[in-house]
Amino acid sequence: MRQMHLESVNDQQVLLVVDDREENLVAMEALLGDGDWDVRTVNSGEDALRCLMDEDVGLVLLDVQMPRMDGFEVARLMRGSPHTRYTPIIFLSAIAHTEESVLQGYAIGAVDFILKPFDPKVLKHKIGALLEQERHRHELQQLSQQLDSERAFNASVLDNASEGILVIDQDGVIRFANPAMAQMLRGEVADLQDSRLLSYLKRPEMPGDWRESEFYRSWRSGQTYRVHDAVLATLDGGYLPVALSCSPLPQYQNSMVLIALDMSVVSNLHAQLESQAITDALTGLYNRRGFHQSLETALSRIDRSGKRMAVLYLDLDGFKRVNDSLGHAAGDQVLRQIAEQLKTCLRPYDILARMGGDEFTALLDSLDHPEDAARVAEKLIELVSVRYELDGVEFTLGASIGIACYPECGQTVDGLLRSADMAMYEAKRAGRQQYRFFSPEMNGRARSRLMLEESLRTAIEQDDFVLVYQPQIDLASGRLRGFEALLRWEHRVAGTISPGVFIPLLEETRLINRVGAWIFNQGISQCRAWQTQFGENLLLSLNVSPVQFGMPKLVEDLRRLLDMHQLKPSQLEVEVTESALMQDLDTTREQLQQLRELGVRIAIDDFGTGYSSLAYLRHFELDTLKIDRLFISNMLESRKDAAIVSTIIDLGHHLGLEVIAEGVETLEQRDWLMAHRCTTMQGFLVAPGLPLEQASAFPAQLDWANWRPDKLF
């Protein structure tokens, strides 16, 4: 017999990186340069094809988006060339994130499609495994080709080959097995001889009759039969993933040679990658993908059992303060701790997942009644809502939970999660640290909210918002103190939309920043225009939402607009609610100090309805207290409300603060406030929010002695 010879493979295989951006090539060379491979880099599809023709490349990392010739075209040309037909390709892309692009990549013949940014460790593991597989494929291919053309082969090569080799006769009986094959199947060579190949094959499924199998059919047609994901049963009862290549020997031998490549390393790697794909790296819980899969499995099972189940959507209340004050590392530590706490409340077969950020989900399976889910939600809220200590800092968290029951609240994965998510936001709107069940009314509100949000964006683009100006009157003299600028929205179809409806939505969607910038510019500009008519002591009050108050550029933006319109800072009053001040005390102090240095006045709006902590009146530098209209409307009938208003007025005098009563609607309310030395008032008794033309015609001085509200205009 002639000596058979396998072409040796270089110690280091060539890894070709193709990307049209030079900085990406430099980064990839730095990342991959320390591996057991030789990195080549090119910046175009044309250069890649030239390199592939000149060198024996083991693996190609191919960018999708390139000028002239994109990655898909390079892959198609590679698959059309015998030299590169089986060279593994991994697509890398930061842009082509669509399912269509990914499927197109796999259809062309890529072994993987990785979206940027990616995990370097995972990429290196993939490269190593694929290069190792490619090395074995080359050896397998060379051996198979030489066996096709040779009448005999050297026994020493077979005995020392690392791949398993079998010779099978036309009846499917094993006539020869090399030591590697016996070792792979956990037996001896003698154990395999004269046994049937199909008795070891567990995947792919084959007919019991050998002559109907693909092995026999391919042998009869003179073709090579390959299976990349086959499974063989070992003699000790185990299973071994292999890649098989079965080729016919010369016709007169009536036999075929089968080569088996051990794929257990690659299979284990794929299993690890799949586990990582469904596991949250921070907490060890399922991630969003893992929870989706678990919920889908539960839905298919519960249809048959008739049992109920519920999805809980949990969002932590107050977690943002932990991240902002203690840093993200501390926040991660808290999330891990909470994940462990949540697991203690659930049964072993319930599913718990972290969906991202500070959001968790739980799948409660096999429930008898919806109330069972409510009891679990109560336990979860109680468990989370405790005092924590980290790095010597104490803080308290809470939890808001939405509950969606199957099948009432949804019968699909997306439907149940969407319902639970809406119910969770309903719990937040109801005051946080509580749970809510999903109801059809919530779904309707959610749809209305989406429509309103879209209308808000359109209103901003089409400049549909207007400012009205409500006069503020000095009670002692009747002098016009200034105006409070109020935002109004005239919807082109629905008409006037209440500020109580659209302003909270502006804050939730962060659109308040865009609208707020417009309010500042419009109001300051108008106040400057009124100086000729009302004098330089006229004040303009502008409301600042909690979202705006937390913006680091608030003072800088106000300074720029005051300079641009040449308005004195002392003519501008910034109104902030109590809740905005108490969100983050350190940020509040810094923001108020900067506003004070700018020279603008600071007013607390709706005083008495928020946190009602008198401590901040001592620590914060303020100018004005505004008594909420709720107390003013009831003070003549309620002794308690009257006492609150009187106390706030006295408190303001003692602290040297101006006190403004909001929502004054009757002469009796005005007289009571004057008798109790309230400084200023505003409300419908004088005027509602006035359009610009009427505000400009407002008198600078009211004659209290002969004044009648109905004769003002």
Structure confidence by residue, pLDDT tens digits, 455-492: 888 888 888 889 999 999 999 899 999 999 999 988 87
* CA–CA distance, 293 with 361 (Å, rounded to integer): 13
Is the per-residue pLDDT at 152 higher than 60? no
Q: Is 109 left (phi over 0), alpha (psi -120 to 50) or beta?
A: left
Q: What one-letter code names the amino acid at 505?
A: L
Contact criterion met (CB below 8 Å) for 381 and 373? no
**CA-based torsion, 135, 137, 143, 145: positive or negative:** negative
Average pLDDT over all residues of the chain? 85
Up-side HSE of residue 12: CA atoms within 13 Å toward CB? 11
Strand bridging mode 465-474 / 359-367: unpaired
Structure confidence at residue 3 as a pLDDT band (50, 70, 90)? very low
Structure confidence at residue 155 as a pLDDT band (50, 70, 90)? low
Nearest 5°: phi and psi at 9? Answer: -100, 135
State both tokens at 135: 């090395």
Quickly tell me which residue has 């320390």 as its tokens.
Answer: 34
* CA–CA distance, 140 with 42 (Å, rounded to integer): 29
pLDDT at 679: 93
Instruction: Count the Cβ atoms, other than its own, within 10 Å of residue 376.
Output: 22
The stretch 640-652 carries a mean pLDDT of 91
CA dihedral 439, 441, 447, 449 (to 10 degrees): -110
In angstroms, what is the C-alpha Rg of the chain?
38
* CA–CA distance, 391 with 210 (Å, rounded to integer): 70
Beta strands in 43-142 (DSSP E): 57-63, 89-93, 112-115
Distances 121 to 63, 118, 316, 600, 691 between C-alpha atoms, Å: 19, 9, 32, 54, 63
* CA–CA distance, 213 with 273 (Å, rounded to integer): 33
What are the pLDDT digits (tens) for 113-125? 888 788 888 888 8
* CA–CA distance, 427 with 435 (Å, rounded to integer): 5
Q: Given strand 359-367, what is the order of strands in its sheet?
A: 351-356, 359-367, 308-317, 398-406, 435-437
Based on the number of CB atoms within 10 Å of its own CB, is 557 exposed (0-12), middle (13-18) or buried (19 or more)?
middle
pLDDT at 6: 36
Nearest 5°: phi and psi at 454? Answer: -65, -40
Beta strands in 323-386 (DSSP E): 351-356, 359-367
pLDDT at 2: 34
State both tokens at 504: 């909270």
What are the pLDDT digits (tens) for 346-371? 888 889 999 988 999 999 988 877 77
State both tokens at 405: 């029951």
* CA–CA distance, 95 with 114 (Å, rounded to integer): 11
More confident residue, 713 or 313: 313
* CA–CA distance, 335 with 350 (Å, rounded to integer): 19
Is the per-residue pLDDT at 575 higher than 90? yes
CB-based burial, 630-668: b 16+ in 10 Å, e otherwise: ebbbebeeeeebbebbbebbeebeeeebbbbbbbbeeee
pLDDT at 157: 65
Structure confidence at residue 691 as a pLDDT band (50, 70, 90)? very high
Is the per-residue pLDDT at 405 higher than 50? yes
Q: How far apart are the first and last CA of the chain?
A: 118
pLDDT at 484: 96
Percentage of the chain surpassing pLDDT 90?
Answer: 29
Nearest 5°: phi and psi at 259? Answer: -115, 130
Structure confidence at residue 650 as a pLDDT band (50, 70, 90)? very high
Is the per-residue pLDDT at 143 higher than 80? no
